[in-house]
């Protein structure tokens, strides 16, 4: 569908059509620091890599760093400024991500805007079934919801399918992503055997040769460094495997100020930037020109309890600094929303939207956790996906721009309607009213009396019907039945072989 | 108080101090239209005033327009471009609003940022007492809440005190504003007798001579034109009375696209701009240099039901256009947030914050309805004032900027903490942790287990205790007891004389 409005329209009524897929960020970028302080921060990050070093647990990765000229002492790697600058130069500035159909392809470059719902949560929650450990059913349903809204552009690892054994989980998740969606799919980096399985499933399901698959990125992974200053085994392996196969890594140090990063925005971003540059360097040492996305996820903690916080002023400012650094590099980059609230209340809505505006004004290319994320990422809420989607759709409307022709200025209508009159029946209005305004997804604009008569249903409870309809009646995209059968056969065979356990 | 955090701090702990009073907008202004289309819109507005005309119901106002060179036909006034441009030139570009104390004074000019809570509502609501027609008790309590937060800068007409007879209501409201607050007070323009009473109360309570009172603005009114193209009796009289007394008018056409304004953003803003310019012109014809604030409140309606909507993409874009027009004029200006939701749920939070960002990116000087406004202005919610205040305080934090010195970049801390270590105990952290981060007002960052043990209280219900504490234990600013007594005597005398009925 193009977009979803709350009400069904009659067959005759013209439909409002707005392109929610190809978004360009219309918001002027905001700087938190002066350009010379950004340069100082960048240089400090290079000093971290060159003098203080980063611990790299995977021998193969240390070997690649050493071959590239880094000094390696035991597990510590010291990466020279020249190596980092060479990697920044060879990393692509524009990346075409391939989906099942060209209209779902995504160009990632500075100035573009891509949304992902909340991801990586161990729990799922909704108002019908309650909060529970995530299951493959939850994952499949959330893929359906992601598929149903044009303003969500990539499929992320929404919730963990904890009811599927770890050595088989990647089959179930990838099958769901491929069959229930035609958008760009995600693969976890949990060791080469799982990654190889994933590449094979996507290659065959898309009907590609090895060469065709490797020529362009058809999927992506997310790489979290282990802050401070560690790249662990599966993350390093993922960077290498994805770069080698021409697939995309999104690098995201998770640097909470005061916990795994310095208590200041400037210090936390120095660490985040250093770690991101180390990971980017590893991709370019593996294969110059390999697609890689710069990223950050920097917020603060409650200094009394250590609890992480999101959608705070510090989170917002860190996003702005990351945007300035990304523009310094010229690379597409990922930023993150989020909320620490435990339910989808006013706090949850406010934190998520506040964090979103930080990402938007930072000029983020990809905004992850932009819908549904609760409890600092421990839960994705079905209803919150829907209520947050309202905001994303409204942002997409702003991306479309607003006409300002003489006909829009409407001097004729202003002449036509008398003082104290109204414009409901004006010719200018009649010609436009059916398609002029954004129609809300879950927002209810009825007056208090009507709303009371209808049972005083809040946004959260109105959202239930919206996700249920998608889950129950949603149709999967039309995929080639032979490829679906092939995918099933592959999974059956690999399952019989014992699958592939995650590596750590 | 400087600002309010949720938790009490021990006496020894250093307190975080951020100036929430003198805010400058740190957000880069966003343009919705190109500069040449803004100029076309401005010229179209001048054509509306010159050729199509505006209906002015007050004879004295028509006389002032005529003396200034306007063509007057019956009640219709046709205002030449030159008259409007002269008014724009004479209107002050910077206005110092005087409060009870210099530290509460406000400078209104482009680049400044001032917040007001929701205003003008017939109803009040809270979770303890329910939704009801507003009373003087509600008004007094909301003045206390407005006083308690530095991020709220002016006292607006929060809710209508419907339990006080109309001829005495302005005494009760002004008394509450003056005695329970030391911030800039509001007066309704409901005819000269009430306005004269209000001026006298403020003049005497501030201990001023007539000349001192008239030399600077000590209070403000809000002027809503009757769109389309009408300035009614009390509004025109208010513009004249306030200008004559050197007090401030905030001009706000309320132009809902598709209802009292064209269905397009460009058309609605053309009308809004024309009406605002007519009102500004009247103030300058009355007294050149009289303080006046440009303003707009332009959103859309649901074209099926006619219900007004707020916090929509169209509302956001109209705010941006208003900001461009205000910069064209060089005048301080007022913009508005708002929500059409019926309770303080995710919709309410999202609409209010979305509208807020429209105001912020439009460069609004004054943002009204920035906290507490529900049902498109029919109700102000005690709890929603609190949950929206969280967002305003976070915006104020962004206004303060973030340090980026070498000490903040923290290379020493990055050297000190080992890979996979943490920064909780680092020297750099210990020196800063007590004052580094914004502390939430109503946000709860505890984890799901703790939050569940504490009774699963949502933000709305946590807000109850916050406003109750202010209402029950809040102390009024220290005012001169003689002036309080004088105010009571004035009100007693005027009450005995029958008060002053509103005029319409």
**Cis, peptide link before residue A362, omega less than 30° from 0:** no
Q: Provide the residue-wise pLDDT of chain B in tens; the chain has 504 residues.
A: 334 444 444 456 678 889 999 999 999 999 999 999 999 999 999 999 999 999 999 999 999 999 999 999 999 999 999 999 999 999 999 999 999 999 999 999 999 999 999 999 999 999 999 999 999 999 999 999 999 999 999 999 999 999 999 999 999 999 999 999 999 999 999 999 999 999 999 999 999 999 999 999 999 999 999 999 999 999 999 999 999 999 999 999 999 999 999 999 999 999 999 999 999 999 999 999 999 999 999 999 998 889 999 999 999 999 999 999 999 999 999 999 999 999 999 999 999 999 999 999 999 999 999 999 999 999 999 999 999 999 999 999 999 999 999 999 999 999 999 999 999 999 999 999 999 999 999 999 999 999 999 999 999 999 999 999 999 997 789 999 999 999 999 999 999 999 999 998
> Is the ipTM here above 0.95?
yes
Strands A373-374 and A379-381, bridge-based pairing: antiparallel
* A429 contact residues in B (CB cutoff 8 A): 258, 262-263
B15 lies within 8 A of chain A by CB: no
Which has the closest alpha carbon to B426: A68, A444, A260? A260
A82 part of a folded domain: no
* CA gap A35, A439 in Å, rounded: 41
Residue B209 C-alpha, separation from nearest chain A C-alpha, in angstroms: 41
Nearest alpha carbon to residue A383 among A310, A461, A457, A472: A461
A chain contacts of residue B378, beta-carbon cutoff 8 Å: 447-448
Instruction: Supply A227's token pair.
Output: 């802050």
Interface contact flag, B347 A459, Cβ < 8 Å: yes
B427 within some domain: no
Q: Does A69 fall in a domain?
A: no
- pLDDT at A12 exceeding the cut of 90: no
Tens-digit pLDDT profile for residues A68-108: 999 999 999 999 999 999 999 999 999 999 999 999 999 99
**B35: in domain:** no
User: Is the residue at B262 inside a domain?
Assistant: yes
Q: What is the pTM of this model?
A: 0.97
Whose CA is closest to B189, among B206, B176, B170? B170
The pLDDT score that the predictor gives to residue A504 is: 86
Supply the range of the domain harboring residue B375.
Answer: 88-399
Question: Which residues of chain A lie closer than 8 angstroms to B274, CB-CB?
Answer: 414
> CA-based angle A413:A419:A425, to the nearest 5?
45
Q: From the list A27, A375, A402, which residue is nearest B448 (CB)?
A: A375
Q: How far apart are CA A381 and CA A301, in angstroms?
A: 22
Chain A hits for B312, CB-CB cut-off 8 Å, are: 394, 437-438, 440
**Would B187 be classed as within a structural domain?**
yes
Contact A202, A213 (CB under 8 A): yes
CA distance B266 to chain A (A): 5
Per the structure, the count of domains in chain A is: 1
Is residue B409 one of the residues assigned to a domain?
A: no
% of chain A with per-residue pLDDT over 70? 97
CATH number at residue B199: 3.20.20.480
- Which residues in B301-401 belong to E strands, given as ranges? 333-336, 366-368, 373-374, 379-381
- Tell whether A409 lies on the interface with B, counting CB pairs under 8 A: yes
Q: What is the pLDDT of residues A103-151, one digit of tens each?
A: 999 999 999 999 999 999 999 999 999 999 999 999 999 999 999 999 9
Of A52, A447, A452, the CB nearest to B307: A447
User: Which chain A residues are Cβ-neighbours of B305 within 8 angstroms?
Assistant: 445-446
CB-hemisphere CA count at 13 Å for A59?
0
Using the predicted structure, report yes or no on whether residue A7 has a pLDDT greater than 60.
no
A226: its two tokens: 């282990």
A16 at interface of B, judged by CB pairs closer than 8 A = no
Average pLDDT over residues A434-452: 96
**Which of B409, B429, B454 would you mutate first to test chain A, the one with the most A CBs within 10 A?**
B409
Domain for residue A98, yes or no?
A: yes
- Give residues with Cβ within 8 angstroms of A117, minimum separation 6: A142, A145, A146, A152, A156, A158, A369, A370, A371, A372, A373, A380, A385, A388
pLDDT computed for residue A474 by the predictor: 77
Q: How far apart are CA A58 and CA A235, in angstroms?
A: 9
Q: Of B16, B387, B390, B423, which to mutate for an interface test with A (greatest number of A Cβ within 10 Å)?
A: B423
A263/B432 touch (CB, cutoff 8 Å), yes or no? yes
pLDDT digits (tens, 9 = 90+) for A287-329: 999 999 999 999 999 988 899 999 999 999 999 999 999 999 9
Asked if B444 is an interface residue toward chain A (Cβ–Cβ < 8 A), one would say: yes
pLDDT, tens digit (0-9, with 9 covering 90-100), for A335-347: 999 999 999 999 9
Task: Note whether A228 contacts B446, CB cutoff 8 Å.
Answer: no
- Res A185 pLDDT > 80: yes
Going by C-alpha positions, the residue among B324, B363, B353, B241 that lies closest to residue B290 is B241
- Contact call for A447 and B44, based on CB within 8 A: no
Looking from the CA of B318 toward its CB, the CA atoms found within 13 Å total 38
Name every chain A residue with its beta carbon within 8 A of the beta carbon of B235: none
């Amino acid at each position: 569908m193009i977009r979803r409005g709350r009400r069904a329209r009659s067959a005759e009524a013209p439909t409002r059509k707005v392109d929610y897929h190809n978004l360009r960020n219309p918001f002027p970028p905001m700087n938190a620091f002066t350009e010379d302080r950004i340069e100082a921060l960048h240089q400090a990050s290079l000093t971290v890599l060159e003098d203080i070093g980063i611990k790299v647990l995977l021998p193969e990765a240390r070997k690649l760093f050493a071959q590239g000229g880094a000094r390696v002492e035991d597990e510590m790697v010291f990466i020279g400024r020249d190596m980092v600058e060479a990697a920044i130069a060879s990393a692509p500035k524009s990346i075409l991500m391939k989906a099942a159909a060209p209209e779902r392809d995504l160009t990632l470059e500075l100035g573009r805007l891509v949304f992902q719902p909340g991801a990586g949560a161990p729990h799922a929650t909704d108002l019908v079934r309650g909060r529970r450990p995530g299951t493959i059913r939850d994952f499949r349903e959330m893929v359906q919801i992601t598929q149903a809204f044009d303003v969500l552009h990539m499929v992320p690892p929404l919730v963990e399918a904890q009811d599927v054994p770890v050595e088989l989980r990647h089959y179930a998740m990838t099958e769901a992503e491929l069959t229930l969606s035609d958008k760009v799919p995600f693969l976890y980096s949990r060791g080469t055997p799982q990654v190889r399985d994933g590449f094979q499933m996507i290659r065959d399901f898309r009907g590609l040769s090895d060469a065709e698959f490797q020529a362009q990125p058809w999927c992506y992974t997310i790489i979290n460094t282990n802050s401070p200053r560690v790249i662990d085994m599966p993350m390093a392996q993922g960077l290498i495997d994805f770069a080698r196969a021409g697939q995309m890594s999104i690098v995201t140090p998770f640097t909470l100020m005061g916990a795994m990063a310095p208590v200041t925005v400037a210090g936390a971003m120095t660490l985040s930037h250093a770690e991101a540059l180390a990971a980017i360097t590893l991709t370019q040492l593996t294969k110059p020109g390999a697609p890689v996305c710069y990223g950050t996820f920097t917020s603060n903690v409650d200094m009394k309890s250590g609890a992480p916080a999101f959608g705070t002023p510090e989170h917002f400012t860190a996003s702005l600094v990351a945007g300035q650094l990304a523009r310094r590099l010229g690379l597409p980059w990922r930023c993150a929303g989020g909320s620490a609230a435990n339910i989808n209340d006013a706090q949850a809505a406010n934190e998520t939207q506040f964090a979103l505006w930080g990402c938007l004004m930072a000029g983020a290319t990809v905004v992850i956790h932009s819908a549904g994320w609760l409890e600092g990422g421990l839960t994705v809420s079905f209803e919150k996906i829907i209520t947050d989607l309202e905001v994303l759709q409204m942002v997409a409307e702003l991306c479309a721009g607003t006409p300002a022709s003489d006909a829009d200025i409407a001097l004729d209508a202003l002449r036509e309607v008398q003082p104290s009159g109204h414009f409901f029946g004006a010719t200018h209005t009649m010609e436009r009213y059916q398609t002029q305004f954004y129609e809300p997804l879950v927002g209810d604009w009825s007056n208090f009396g009507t709303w009371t008569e209808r049972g005083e249903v809040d946004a959260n409870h109105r959202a239930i019907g919206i996700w249920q309809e998608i889950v129950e009646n949603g149709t999967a995209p039309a995929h080639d039945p032979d490829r679906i059968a092939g995918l099933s056969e592959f999974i059956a065979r690999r399952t019989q072989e014992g699958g592939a356990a995650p590596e750590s």
